[in-house]
Every structure is written in structure tokens, then in C-alpha cells.
Structure 1
Amino acid sequence: MAGGWRQRRAGALLRAGLAALLCALHVQAACQDVTITQELLKEGFHRDLLLKVELGVVGKDTGGCTVAARTHLPPGIYVDPYELASLQQQNLTKAVLLPDVIDVEAPEYLATDVLVLLYMEADPGCSSCFRAALPVHGRYHQPAEDSEKALVVLKNPEVLVCCCDSGLSAECWKPAEVEAPCSGKTSGSCQWYSIPHKPVYEESILEVPVGLRQHSSLVCVVTLLVTVLCSSLIVAAVCKYGHFSLMSP
């Protein structure tokens, strides 16, 4: 009797341990099966930031959820709020900027970081993939001593999920403080969760052309000469082709 009871107890403990192990492995797989890819397309100052997220195991249960990427743009990169508003009117992208007022004319050394919450759309070619694109622009930098390029490092974004409609949750998700609605259709905010992910690349680097300090005098002289020449041509054209009339008092 005692031996059979011990065997049944040992069997129950073994089954409970296996169930806990399988549950832990499932949660671990769900936490580790999220990958994100970040790319900077085009060349020069005006680029497109392309983000791709593959949820993998998590993606099978995210029906009714909204996926977004929260990224910090360093001072060397900015988003034009007027361009973004035009794209949102055309339903080409959806994003929230913090702060929402950005000085697009400020140089890099006078600018501040910008926080962007970029809503992602489902990828038709992949059932558990999401993607989004955002136009970004490089700022002017101060002249350098010995390099004609300044490097702007863009870290990988944070993957966020909001499941206000489905109520889905996972043990590996952490609540995130985000004051933004789940989608463009809702006005109120809801609870967002941060998902651990594995980046394909650690970071993206934007190369911005800059001038050299030793060329400052030459640039100033040439600029002054061109300004004087253009002003003289304008004055000569006005004197030659302009019509003047003297008004009697």
C-alpha cells in the first residue's frame, strides 16, 4: 500500500514537473521568437526608415492586437511633422511624435532627441510579420577636423503590442508606459506591453556629409563674393529695366 502510494505520488510529481517544463519552454519560445529588422533606404540626407517585425510563435495569438515600434531618434535625425501629417491623411503611415513640435531647420548640435511611436501594418506575404516605413531626414552638422562624414547611430526600436480588444497577455510581456491609443480609430489610451526581441542588426548608421574646418575661410570668401555679385546684377537689372516715376508733392 505504502509503496503504491509513493509510486503514484512520484508519478504525479513527474507529470507536474513535465507540464511546468513544457509551459516554461513554450513561454521561452514565445519570448525569444520575435525578431526585428531595421534598415535605412536611399542615400543622402533624405532617407526612409524601414522596420520589419516577425512575431513567430507570438504572432499566432495576436488577432485583434496592434503592433507598434517605439524608437528614439538622435539629434542627427528628425521627422518632418508636416510631411508625416500629409502621409497620414493619405493613410500611408500612422505615427505619434513626442514632442509633436519639431524644429526642422535646427542643426544637429541644437536639436534634441525625438520619440516616435510607429504603428505597423500586417505583411501580406507573412502571417506573423508586420512592417512600417517612415521618412527621416539628416540634420546639418558642425564642420569636422579631418573627416567629411558624420556618423549618426540609430538604435533598434522597442516592439510594443496592445491587445485592448482580445485581452491577450503573455508572461514574458512587460507593461509599457505609452500614452497613445491602440489604433487610429480609437481615441482613448490602453495598456501597451513590451515584447523581448532579437535584433537582426544591433544598430543602423547614417552617414551625413559635413564640411572641413580648414575650408571655412575659403567658403566665407566665396560666399561673400557670390552675394556681392548677385546683388550687383540685381541692382543693375532694376536700374536698366525698371520704371521709375517721380510723384509730385
Structure 2
Amino acid sequence: MGLQIESWDNYTFRDLLIKVKFGESIEDLQTCRLLLRQYIPTGLSVDPYELASLQERNITEAMMVSENFNIEAPNYLSKESEVLIYARQDSQCIDCFQAFLPVHYRYHRPHSKDGETFIVVNNPELLMYCDQEFPILKCWAQSEVTAPCALNSKDICQWNNMKYKSVYKNVTLQVPVGLTIHTSLVCSVTLLITILCSTLILVAVFKYGHFSL
């Protein structure tokens, strides 16, 4: 059984695509469910409102486990978060599952020299639950984990935490960050633009606004 993680750029966010392929032939795999417990490092965030929208459109099934999660917090004020992703069987591969999770960059402190930083996304835990027993799966199981049987379900199942061979050790994301030497320039330009825009707004209000006493 192998696991493959892929990701691709889309400006400020990336999509984490996780693929699982069973190396052994297992009959009636349709009776099994696969759950991925992914830990999101402090340099990234997951938008719970975006997850809800994707669920409504039947694109992915994922839920935030971490409480008091602040999507606006910068990297240095955030904590590692936990997401449960319910994988789906691949229609083009009889013994394959795949899961999809959009992630976003958090704000990072500017650096003095290097204009980039790296974020390591560790491989997820692979949890599996089957309606019937398969002897070969017991060989792969390490322990049992309690988790909801399905998304938005109150039923709790005992999932098997499975051993697997990963195609990639970990996923490393390269994130551009600001430089401290640009602080004065950025502040000056920002202040000038703010004053200019405020002035234009005031001129428009006094020119086209209607005032009554």
C-alpha cells in the first residue's frame, strides 16, 4: 500500500492532493472507508468556510478538528491544526483512493536577507475502517483511533491506523516573504497611497454628495 502527495501553485494557495493505492489485491474494497488525519503546520491554514462550500458542491469531505482556530493569525501567532479528510475511491482505479484539501499561506515575519521561507507538511496518518474483516489489513494495522464514521455523522467508529509506504517523505512548500530592508519604502508608499485615496474620496463626497440639515 502506497501513498502519494501532490501539490501545485495557484498564487496564494495550494491544493494538497493525496492518493492512496493498495499494493495488495483486496476483494470487496467497496466496504472500506479511508480517513486521513492531516496536521497543518503553523505556516499554513485551512479555511473552514471554504471546506463547507466544497462539501456543498460535493468536491471534498473534510472537517476541522482544532478548536478556536484563527485563520487570520500570522505564522508566529498560530498553532498547528488538525484536519480529517474522508478519502473517496478513484473511479479510474479499482484499488485507489484520493483526497483533496486546499491550504493557504499565513503571513510570515520579514527576513533580513533571504526573501523566502520553507514549510514542511508531514505525511498524514492513514486510518481505515471496513464493514468486514480482512486478514491482510490486520497485518498493516498499528493501532486503533476513534473518529466519526462519516462527515457530519454523530456515530463513532474505531479506525485502524495503517502502516504505509510513502512515495515522498514530506511535502516542502516554498513561501515568499518580505525583506526588512524594504520596511521604510513600503511604509512610505502605503502612507502616500492612503492619503491620496482618502483625499479623492473626500473630494468626491463634497462634490457629488447631498447634504441636508
**After TM superposition, is the score higher than 0.5?**
yes
Matched residue, 2:112:
145
Conserved 8 A contact 1:63-1:166: no
Bigger Cα displacement from structure 2, 88-97 vs 211-220 = 88-97
Q: Residue 61 and residue 244 in structure 1: after superposition, are their counterparts in 2 closer, same or farther (change >3 A)?
A: closer
Aligned-residue CA RMSD (Å): 1.8
Q: Equivalent residue for 1:235?
A: 202
Do residues 189 (structure 1) and 151 (structure 2) align?
A: no
What percentage of aligned pairs have identical amino acids? Answer: 43
- What is the alpha-carbon distance in structure 1 between the residues aligned to residue 206 and residue 152 of structure 2? 61
Aligned-pair distance for 1:119? 0.8
SS state at 1:170 partner: helix
Distance 1:104 1:39, change over 3 A: same
Partner Cα distance (1:94, 1:186) in 2: 12
Residue number in structure 2 paired with 1:62:
29
Residue 78 (structure 1) aligned with residue 45 (structure 2): yes
Which residues of 2 match residues 171-190 of structure 1 at below 5 A? 171-181=139-149, 183-184=150-151, 186-190=153-157
Q: Could you tell me which residue of structure 2 aligns to residue 104 of structure 1? A: 71
Shift of 1:100: 4.9
- CA distance in structure 2 between the aligned counterparts of 1:184 and 1:244, rounded to whole angstroms: 54
1:200 aligned residue (161, 167, 172): 167
Give distance in 2, aligned partners of 1:123 and 1:41.
Answer: 20
1 or 2, which has the higher helix percentage? 1
Contact 2:145 2:161 in 1 (8 A): no
* Mapped partners of 2:153, 2:188: distance in 1: 57
Secondary structure at 2:160 match in 1: strand
The Cα offsets for residues 60-84 of structure 1, whole Å up to 9 and x where unpaired, read as: 4634110121111101111110010
How many angstroms apart in 2 are the aligned matches of 1:185 and 1:101?
19
Q: What TM-score, normalized by structure 1, do the two folds share?
A: 0.79
Verify the 8 A CA contact 1:72 1:157 in the aligned structure 2: yes
The gaps in structure 2 that reach 5 residues or longer are none
1:167 and 1:101 map into 2 onto residues whose CA distance is 38
Matches within 5 A, 1:209-248: 209-246=176-213
- CA change 1:86–1:36 in 2 (3 A) is same
Q: Partner letter of residue 132 of structure 2?
A: S
SS in 2 for 1:86: helix
Structure 2 CA distance, aligned partners of 1:58 and 1:95? Answer: 27
For 1:178, what is the secondary structure of its paired residue? strand
CA distance in 2, matches of 1:121, 1:172: 20
Distance in 2 of aligned mates of 1:208 and 1:106:
16
Unaligned runs of 5+ in 1: 1-33
Q: Label 1:185 to 1:85 Cα distance change in 2 as closer, same or farther (>3 A).
A: closer
What is the CA-CA distance between 1:243 and the residue it aligns to? 2.0
Deviation at 1:242? 1.8
Correspondence for 1:161 among 113, 128, 131: 128
Quote the residue 1:35 is aligned against.
2
Give me the TM-score of the superposition, normalised by structure 2.
Answer: 0.91
CA shift, 1:162, in A, is 1.0
Q: How many residues are paired up? A: 211
Q: Which of the two has higher C-alpha Rg? A: 1
Question: 2:39 is paired with a residue of what secondary structure?
Answer: strand
Q: Which has the higher strand share?
A: 2
Question: 3-state DSSP class of the match of 1:177?
Answer: strand
Q: 1:76, 1:46 → 2: CA distance?
A: 12
